[in-house]
């Protein structure tokens, strides 16, 4: 049975209208207070990355209002990066700060920024390529149901090993840590005579302590934070590849914010990305200095040995194109690098 508002006197209609508005307002407030933003990441608690994530969270809480809760799960407590991508898809996490290893589970073309060894010669080149590909990459993530809030990086990958090694062949007698979610990379390594051992990040330290692996490709900051260098005290000083990452959230979580909150969070996240990139790069040198004081040996290839590494990289590119990196994206990266180096008068 439907009851018309005309059945009530004017005064009562006014009261009823007020009650309806109050109920709707309460419902909206309840929705805001029920909001939860759960963020997963491998980064250590209280690290630069964690602090920037918490600052973004404070901006989000203020913008959303109510009793909204923002939680950051550090140190891989939500699993590896592939697992975090899965958790976001099913709603157990609303966001994650991940490297390309996890981001490629969402959009494979992102791998172009991280998996091509010895391709980038400087952070200036990394920045140029990323910024030129940024809009297209962010559109691809959005099409997959994710919003990229910030871009960051974590330093160059170096090889930390138990024994000193400077040439590619020196590493063929060793066992490498390899991401469990990258079977293509493992297949390529095996085809070239190397021995990858697929593990999750949380397994790296016990694995190198027990001899399950002898080499860990890692950034200096991560090697210092996790104490990997204490068991693998030799570092090969080559910039094998940059660790590139991004802070992403689900489109569902983004849409729940509202336009004003979105604007505030995006602005804060963009600033956080710039801070992470600047400070993380400085921390690479700081981390190496700290480890050297505690017994780390830094091994530098001579020019002839460096040519061997470059020859190895050249052999890897055709194997990476179309497998680990979509061919179109692979070619786009090389085109941007060619343009950048031409503008600087550098040889290809």
* 191 domain-assigned: yes
Among residues 52, 39, 115, the alpha carbon closest in space to that of 84 is found at 39
Give the distance from CA 83 to its chain's centroid: 13
User: Structural domain of residue 105, as residue ranges?
Assistant: 35-344
Overall domain count for the chain: 1
* 15 domain-assigned: no
Chain segment 285-295, per-residue pLDDT in tens? 899 999 999 99
- What average pLDDT does the segment 39-50 reach? 94
* 17 domain-assigned: no
* Max Cα-Cα span within the chain: 95
| Lowest model confidence (mean pLDDT) among 29-33, 229-233, 236-240, 303-307 | 29-33
Q: What is the pLDDT of residue 195?
A: 94
pLDDT band at 11 (very low <50, low <70, confident <90, very high): very low
Among residues 93, 126, 90, the alpha carbon closest in space to that of 277 is found at 126
* 118 domain-assigned: yes
Chain segment 126-175, per-residue pLDDT in tens? 999 999 999 999 999 999 999 999 999 999 999 999 999 999 999 999 99
pTM exceeds 0.75, yes or no? yes
* 234 domain-assigned: yes
Kindly give the interhelix angle for 123-143 and 327-344, rounded to the nearest 10 degrees.
150
Q: What is the pLDDT of residue 245?
A: 95
* 151 domain-assigned: yes
Q: Are 214 and 196 in contact (CB under 8 A)?
A: no
Structure tokens at 303: 């020019």
Higher pLDDT, 31 or 224: 224
Among residues 49, 60, 133, 48, the alpha carbon closest in space to that of 99 is found at 49
Residues contacting residue 12 through CB under 8 Å, at least 6 positions apart: none
Number of C-beta neighbours around residue 299 at 10 A: 17
Chain segment 82-122, per-residue pLDDT in tens? 999 999 999 999 999 999 999 999 999 999 999 999 999 99
Q: Return the CATH number at 337.
A: 3.40.190.170
Chain segment 293-328, per-residue pLDDT in tens? 999 999 999 999 999 999 999 999 999 999 999 999
* 22 domain-assigned: no
* 28 domain-assigned: no
pLDDT band at 32 (very low <50, low <70, confident <90, very high): very low
Asked if residue 337 has pLDDT above 90, the reply is yes
Residues contacting residue 231 through CB under 8 Å, at least 6 positions apart: 162, 205, 208, 209
Q: Are 248 and 273 in contact (CB under 8 A)?
A: no
Cα–Cα distances in Å, from 302 out to 234, 321, 339? 16, 29, 29
Report the DSSP beta bridge partners of residue 39.
72, 95
């Amino acid at each position: 049975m439907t009851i018309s508002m005309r059945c009530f006197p004017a005064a009562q209609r006014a009261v009823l209208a007020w009650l309806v508005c109050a109920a709707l307002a309460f419902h909206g407030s309840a929705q805001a207070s029920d909001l939860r933003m759960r963020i997963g990441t491998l980064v250590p608690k209280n690290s630069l990355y964690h602090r920037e994530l918490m600052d973004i969270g404070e901006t989000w809480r203020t913008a959303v209002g109510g009793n909204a809760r923002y939680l950051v799960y550090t140190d891989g407590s939500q699993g590896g990066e592939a697992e975090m991508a899965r958790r976001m898809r099913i709603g157990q996490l609303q966001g994650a700060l991940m490297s390309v290893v996890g981001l490629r589970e969402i959009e494979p073309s992102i791998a172009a920024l991280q998996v091509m060894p010895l391709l980038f010669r400087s952070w200036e080149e990394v920045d140029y390529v990323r910024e030129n590909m940024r809009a297209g990459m962010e559109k691809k993530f959005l099409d997959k149901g994710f919003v990229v809030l910030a871009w960051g990086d974590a330093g160059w990958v170096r090889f930390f090993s138990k024994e000193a090694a400077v040439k590619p062949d020196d590493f063929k007698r060793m066992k490498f840590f390899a991401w469990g979610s990258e079977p293509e990379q493992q297949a390529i390594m095996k085809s070239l005579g190397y021995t990858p051992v697929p593990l999750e990040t949380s397994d790296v330290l016990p694995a190198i302590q027990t001899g399950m692996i002898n080499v860990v490709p890692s950034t200096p900051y991560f090697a210092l934070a996790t104490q990997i260098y204490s068991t693998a005290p030799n570092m090969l000083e080559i910039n094998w590849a940059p660790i590139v990452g991004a802070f992403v959230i689900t489109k569902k979580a983004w849409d729940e914010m509202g336009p004003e909150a979105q604007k505030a969070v995006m602005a804060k996240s963009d600033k956080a990305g710039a801070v992470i990139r600047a400070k993380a790069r400085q921390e690479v040198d700081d981390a190496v200095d700290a480890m050297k004081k505690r017994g780390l040996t830094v091994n530098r290839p001579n020019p002839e040995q460096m040519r061997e590494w470059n020859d190895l990289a050249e052999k890897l590119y055709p194997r990476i194109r179309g497998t680990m990196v979509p061919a179109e994206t692979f070619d786009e990266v090389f085109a941007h690098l060619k343009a950048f180096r031409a503008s600087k008068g550098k040889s290809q």
